[in-house]
Structure 1
Amino acid sequence: MLISSVSLSAILHGTLFTFGFQEAPLTAFHSGPQHSPYAMVLLPGLNEGPMALPWTTRIADAIAQRGWSTVQPTLSASFSGFGMSSLEHDTWELDMLMDHLVKLGKKHIMLVGHSTGK
């Protein structure tokens, strides 16, 4: 029986930035056309974070060809932080991310959640 495998090596070129409070900033990875007014925020599911999904690079490359950048935040609830916070807190962190993206010049922001993504 032949089992198809997904490559675990993937490369996205971009910028890692911080947002939120200076005392305890959160991070996000921004790839694709950095100065585009369009951004897709990719929110993975439980126990996941940036680059955790096998199709992350494919969707980021596909939307970059259409002029959209991809933003992958690491929230307090990402990876092993799941269960240590609340949906209300996640929403607050996403609100801070949206504010930051608007300051970067993003005028159209699309949220894409995977599985049980926020």
Structure 2
Amino acid sequence: MSQYTSYQVDARGVARLSLNRPDVHNAFDDVMIAELIEALNSAENDDAVRVLVLQSAGKNFSAGADLNWMRSMAEKDYQQNIDDAGELSLLMQRLDELSKPTIALVQGAAFGGAVGLAACCDMVLAQP
């Protein structure tokens, strides 16, 4: 069960992947990254999916990385930090290389890694 994201596919083959932590401006951490990778794998392997829309709940697309998560990583050892960075890299790679068209719907602010998520999509539609 997803804690920080939602993933749904409608009858037309539109997959909607939503960041769902509006209380922290959809900042991502290791849990959200894992959920996003899992959803992207599902979209890739589902022949019914024709397009993936990346969106978010709340007034801002995403603040990027969760600062509390980043602070906690300072206490981890070198290898744990390398592994953690590898997961974020894998997320960006999966989104960039998805065989289905991807559209980011960006509302409000997008900072740091959130800009990377949008940049990995084939198209970005943005509004203030």
TM over 0.5: no
TM-score by length of 1: 0.33
| RCO comparison, higher one (Cα < 8 Å, 6+) | 1
| Greater fraction of residues in strand | 1
TM-score by length of 2: 0.31
